Structure 1
Amino acid sequence: MPTALGYPGLQCVLEFLDPMRRYVPFLSKSFLDLFYRIHIVSRAHSLRTIDKIIPLSIEELGINGNCLNLKYYEIDNCTDNKLRFKNGRWKDFRRIRPSNLKPEEAMKKLLVSYLKAGSKIYVKCLVFFTAIPEFVPPNLILQINELRCCFRYIEQFLPIIDQNCFPLKKLRIAISEPYYLNHPVLTSAQQLIVLHGFDGVPKIINQNTNKRVTFETYCFRTEDPVVLIRNWMKNGKEIGTTFKFHDYEDNRVMHFLMQKLKEFKTESDHHSRVTPILRVPIEPFAEIHVSKDNENYIVVEVVPITLKRETNATEEPCSSKKAKQ
């Protein structure tokens, strides 16, 4: 017979247990059917005694309008006085909302029920594209790695994000106005991904300190990568800066770029699966490499020339030695 888990084992299991399976939202007996859920903590006294001091880890948390999304699970406040629960297999069921609760109050009870116990709440990715809903409790604090949002609502959500999370490791944004491009949350992000934007977004972001930026297909113009490279040629750019542009299926942007920069040398990299690299010198010790990766992104990066020269210097004696043999 297997031995019972000790405290370290229980702590590890609870910390990474799906929050939808970890807590029991007791709004009323008709509110949730116990047969649809596995209520571990509610059925184990030994777990309840340590539950509140163990951090809660969530892969993805979405808070939008009348919807609460925990990656593979979704809870909606429907217009027919019902709450809809949907799992990752698109199976769902509905329960009548208690008559004494308003929609916002019902969602708040659910949110508190799922997230209240952990002394710390770790969220790998927080998602929001609407104003902060009324059901979000003011004392909720999340520790996040990645933020995916409509940036116009960033100020509303900052109070629920632990300040130690900044600068963010990854920020995915939809942005509609130039005003927000100077926001410190955006300019300090280690990796910035622009999902939706407006004409001129790459030019403005180029003035920021972001070193790793990705632009999705419909948030930049065909000529923007060329304008960016010409700017780096004229004004220089820090080594390690990498901008990516998602190309169309017909490689239209890449073809346009190669035509406009055809005066520069193109070399094939036999050690890589990417397209031939276009090399554009910008400084005595740096150059721009332009290539296309396996995910249809045009990669524009600033690399040191010294690395290339050192590699060549190392390889030449070997090749000459082989020739003599």
Structure 2
Amino acid sequence: MSFTLAYPAMGPILEFMEANKRIHLTFRCPSLDAIDKSTPLRLDFLEFRTNCIQINKMSYQLNHCEQKYEENQSQKEDKSSREALAPGEIQIGGNKFSNFRKFVEFRIGNEFGDERVRRLPENLEIHMALKKLFGFLLGSRQAIKVSKEMVFDLEQEYILRLPENLKICVKTLNTKKTDFEEILPILDPSCLPLETLKLENAQPHNLQNSVFQTARNVEIIRDDVEWEEDESQVEKWHSEFQKLPNKNIFMDFRFYGQERIVDLIKFWMENGKEIGTCWNFRRRYWEKLNREVKRIKNEIGGTYGRGHSLILPLNDDSELMVVGAKLPENQLRVLQLLVQPKVDRSTCTHKIINQIYSYWLFYSFLTILALMCGSIVFCRIMGPNAIPLVVGLFTISFTFLWLSKLEGFF
């Protein structure tokens, strides 16, 4: 005896079905529409681009296109509506009409590069087609949840034609060059504070926004510096940035260099900072991280710790560690500022480490001198047989020093 699945039981199945398959199924089966709209739509990835929306690995795009116009016999015989002039009408440029007609093209593409193309009716404008498309995909839904990332990659002054009362729950919001505050009305309040906020062109007023300040992770990626010439704007930006309460920030800022880092450290030393704060400032491969750490030490002071780190006291309970590092998730080189519980560094071991890192050049010279003297004595005792061993030892020593210099350790 066979059993059919009742429509109410379809809710949990639709909820955890891949989003594009679910959309296709409910389009083919209109009787499921009510259940579909009342069941949360779960997405892995959602991106809005100019005239395009991408759901997971499927993109839905509308394009303006044009095609050469070919008249059939009846159109050639009856041109009254297209070419004939009524009283008072004026034709400019002679008796010449365009051979091309514009239309809107709808493309659905998948991750493998396969596309389905459909030409929309001639009287349907692209902005109306977008409104219908977004309404069909996202409109009138009880909830939309994006588990990984929602991206907005839009041109300036572009009108994003979203359905009314749309609310989306996200963990990671990436607004790129779009002002993230313009996107806030469509965020479901239940998803705040955000897990990760990624943005470009963060303006001073953005840094004061509570959504920005409460995000657990913030990534600021900004290549252009249009307002860098305005010194008052720059100073205002850095003043607001220093006061941010966020515990995890990644900065890919070209002009946030050593001088700004020193100002930031001094601000933290004067005002304190919460333990667990970790701010990372990206550095390019040619920049010597430990040289930068050494220059910071020359300006502010502090002591060296393990791993070529600089330790600066903040208060009785915490200290700041400044160190060159690589991020494990993407291997980017960063100058890292980490606030950690205070460690007793009055022991002999820590004093020796600080001495070695402070006077590494002197100790390297003594080591090489000792190797040379020892090699002379060794050669006198062993004779010619000692030469390969001595050459190998010196090669290893100089290679280590050279590689250390390349990595910026010294």
Identity fraction in percent: 26
Cα distance, 1:50–1:137 mapped onto 2, change above 3 Å? closer
Report if the CA contact (8 A) 1:196-1:219 is conserved: no
| Residue 277, structure 1, aligned to residue 324, structure 2 | no
Q: Supply the distance in 2 between the matched residues of 1:162 and 1:76 (Cα, whole angstroms).
A: 26
Instruction: Choose from 332, 336, 339 the match for 1:299.
Output: 336
1:301, CA displacement in angstroms?
1.2
Counterpart position of 2:35: 50
Report if the CA contact (8 A) 2:40-2:144 is conserved: yes
| Residue 168, structure 1, aligned to residue 190, structure 2 | no
Cα distance, 1:183–1:207 mapped onto 2, change above 3 Å? same
1:164, CA displacement in angstroms?
2.7
Report if the CA contact (8 A) 2:220-2:253 is conserved: no
Instruction: Choose from 119, 127, 130 the match for 2:151.
Output: 127
Report if the CA contact (8 A) 2:139-2:164 is conserved: no
Counterpart position of 2:242: 206
Counterpart position of 1:221: 257
| Residue 264, structure 1, aligned to residue 302, structure 2 | yes
1:261, CA displacement in angstroms?
1.6
- Unaligned runs of 5+ residues in structure 1 are 24-38, 269-274, 313-325
Report if the CA contact (8 A) 2:107-2:117 is conserved: yes
Q: Supply the distance in 2 between the matched residues of 1:260 and 1:188 (Cα, whole angstroms).
A: 29
Equivalent residue runs for 1:83-232 within 5 Å: 83-116=106-139, 118-124=141-147, 125-130=149-154, 133-150=159-176, 153-196=179-222, 198=225, 200=234, 201=237, 203-216=239-252, 218=254, 220-232=256-268
TM-score by length of 2: 0.61
Structure with a larger share of its residues in helix: 2
Cα distance, 1:132–1:244 mapped onto 2, change above 3 Å? same
Secondary structure at the residue paired with 1:78?
strand
Q: Supply the distance in 1 between the matched residues of 2:341 and 2:196 (Cα, whole angstroms).
A: 25
Report if the CA contact (8 A) 2:7-2:32 is conserved: no
CA distances 1:167-208 after superposition (whole Å, capped 9, x unpaired): 222111112532322122212222211111755555531212
Root-mean-square deviation (CA), in Å?
3.3
Cα distance, 1:303–1:4 mapped onto 2, change above 3 Å? farther
Counterpart position of 1:244: 280
- Unaligned runs of 5+ residues in structure 2 are 66-103, 229-233, 348-410
1:46, CA displacement in angstroms?
8.3
Which stretch of the first structure deviates more once superposed, 197-206 or 248-257?
197-206
Report if the CA contact (8 A) 1:132-1:153 is conserved: no
Cα distance, 1:299–1:8 mapped onto 2, change above 3 Å? farther
Q: Supply the distance in 1 between the matched residues of 2:7 and 2:282 (Cα, whole angstroms).
A: 48
Report if the CA contact (8 A) 1:104-1:134 is conserved: no
TM-score by length of 1: 0.75
